[in-house]
Amino acid sequence: MKSKKSYAVFGLGRYGKAVVKELLDNGASVLAVDCNQKTVDALAEEIPLVKCADVTDFNVLKQLGISEIDVVVIAMAENFEASVMTTLLCKEQGVEMVIVKCANEAHRTILQKLGADEVVVPESESGIRLAKNLLSSGFLDIADISENISVLELPVKKEWVGKTLAELELRKTYNMNVIAIKTNGITDISFGPDTVLGADTQMIVIADKNTLARMK
């Protein structure tokens, strides 16, 4: 079993570079790819594994070993057709998590229907924040309250399924307070300590992000 997730970032504009650098700064393994050789050459000294390649080509993705990558970030919002094709190819090759940057809400809807696991509109999500979210057990940052305290949406860990909130003692263990439960897209605020968590449950919590590293 792999101890750390592997990442690939396609598109090395300002957003893509921010994701790559934040991941690298936190010790993650990252494959960075851009179709522009000049861009790749300029980043060769900053990024250990950076390649020039056409990620809309099935054979190229196969040669890059994308099927072995856990998370792919597609940061090519300026080329919607390429984003669509790359999303489809990555999911076809079995990438577990495909996150796509897009230009607007219309593109977000299309990409979600095509199988993208997360779609990011850059005006509301910075590359650095996305990288921090990925590194912190995949939580979705909803809003910052202070430098370290945020409202977050968290998936239920496998070992939590079938247990109640009281049994998990999340406040004591992770310094987080659950404020809502989401199941099948429906948000419930009338839950209690005896609420049993399911595999398809998401929790909305107020938490100190620095403590979430213990959830890995």
Domains of the chain (ranges, CATH numbers): 6-135 (3.40.50.720), 140-215 (3.30.70.1450)
pLDDT in tens, 146-192: 566 777 778 888 899 999 999 998 888 888 888 888 887 677 777 88
Give every CB contact of residue 50 below 8 A, 6+ residues apart in sequence. 12, 32, 33, 34, 40, 43, 44
The pLDDT value given to residue 177: 84
Q: Are 44 and 57 spatial neighbours (Cβ–Cβ below 8 Å)?
A: no
Model confidence band, residue 83 (pLDDT cutoffs 50, 70, 90): very high
pTM of the model: 0.62
The pLDDT value given to residue 155: 82
User: Per-residue pLDDT for 117 more than 80?
Assistant: yes
